[in-house]
Structure 1
Amino acid sequence: MFRDTSHLVVEELSRTLERIDPAQVQAFVDALLAADKVFVVGVGRVLLALQAMTKRFAHLGIAITYVGAITEPAITPKDLLVVGSGSGSSLFPLAIARKAKAIGAKVVHIGSNPQSDMKDVADFMVRIPVRTKLYLDDEIDSRQPMTSLFEQSLLIFGDIVAKMIIDERQLDLKGLWQHHANLE
């Protein structure tokens, strides 16, 4: 049962990653590297995946935090807000995106629904076209519970982007350890 289930999950992830538009990913990398500061916002398991992404990007020297962190600085027009929301309609991320946009920050939506309310706020979207609570026709179906495939894809997407940045900036993998927590 474990081997069959693990094969199913890996196959779903592989199919999903193949459907992400490389041009959208490169635009995301460019926006990350151009921003003075990067903020992420999401809720639930999506927020957990974004926080893992935040930690990894910080290891790469990117000034990044998540909305609500006790040390969160002010966002400015020179900054980027990354909104993780499969449906694009989660109330808190959508409200934060509208506020960031009103301040003049760039907003990118990582999600599945290109027709959500977020389309009117985000500068661009990176679409992870997997099953959401909306059950759109062109979403990749999943046999996993609820939106597990989106959260897994988001986590792996973050690590793929980190590797792209490492390669683009020609960062030394061993040297990255200087940014790793050492009070553990």
Structure 2
Amino acid sequence: MNTISTVLTEMKEVFTKVNDKEYRQLIDLFKKDIRFFFTGEGRSGLIAKVIAMRLMHSGKTVFVIGETTTPAITERDALIVLSGSGKTANTLNVLESASKVGAQIFMITTNTEVLAQYNGLYIPAATKYRLPNEPETIQPLGNQFDQAAHLILDAAIIDSLDSLQTNDILKNKHSNLE
């Protein structure tokens, strides 16, 4: 139980440092009636898929980059990018391609230099690189960033829902082919 307690304490510290204005921008983005595209590599990519699925449950049109049924992104769409480091090569290539067509980009990262170029949300969490500005953690690799991104993005979706979107309504959008 000591490890669980430590992880919870660490995560609470990360959450209390999330910028409210950036968080509110994410909520406002999720409220829009547009198509959403998600991308990320490794575990960040898995979190991107989790959040894409959750946003789809809320009634949005959602795609995951790299899936065979993902259409072309346009200037009317939003690209949500998860990258702890903000410098993963494939992720940067996707960002560049989406920028060229004028898609709205929202970056979730620990990299403030990338956020200077793109709209997004800074998560003050540790990555596998353990840079000097990252918090201390007992968690290995990028666990802290991945967990924080999952919970923060999930909370933003909850905050973007209107009061008519009850659990039963969301459940009706859940896969029934399981």
TM over 0.5: yes
User: Of residues 162, 170, 173 in structure 1, which corresponds to 2:167?
Assistant: 173
Check the 8 A contact 1:35/1:79 in 2, yes or no. Answer: no
Q: Deviations over 1:123-160 (max 9, x none)?
A: x1201111224434332221110110001111111221
Alpha-carbon contact 1:61-1:179 (below 8 Å) kept: yes
1:169 shift after superposition: 5.1
Output the amino acid matched with 2:177: L
> Partner of 2:112: helix, strand, or coil?
coil
Which of 82, 87, 94 does residue 85 from structure 2 map onto? 87
> Percent sequence identity over matched residues?
26
Q: 1:109 to 1:137 in 2, by over 3 A?
A: same
Superposed CA offset, 1:90-127 (max 9, x none): 001111001001001011110001114x643x2x1201
Shift of 1:23: 1.0
Return the match for 1:62 from 41, 60, 64: 60
C-alpha distance in 1 between matches for 2:164 and 2:121 = 24
RMSD: 1.5
Q: Determine the C-alpha separation between the residues in 1 that align with 2:169 and 2:64.
A: 25
Q: Which aligned pairs between 1:111-122 and structure 2 lie closer than 5 A?
A: 111-116=109-114, 119-120=116-117, 122=118
Matched pairs, number: 178
Match of 1:161 in 2: 156
- The one-letter code matched in structure 1 to 2:96 is R
TM-score with structure 1 setting the length: 0.90
Unpaired stretches in structure 1, ≥5 consecutive residues? none
Residue 74 of structure 1 corresponds to 72
- Structure 2, unaligned runs of 5 or more: none
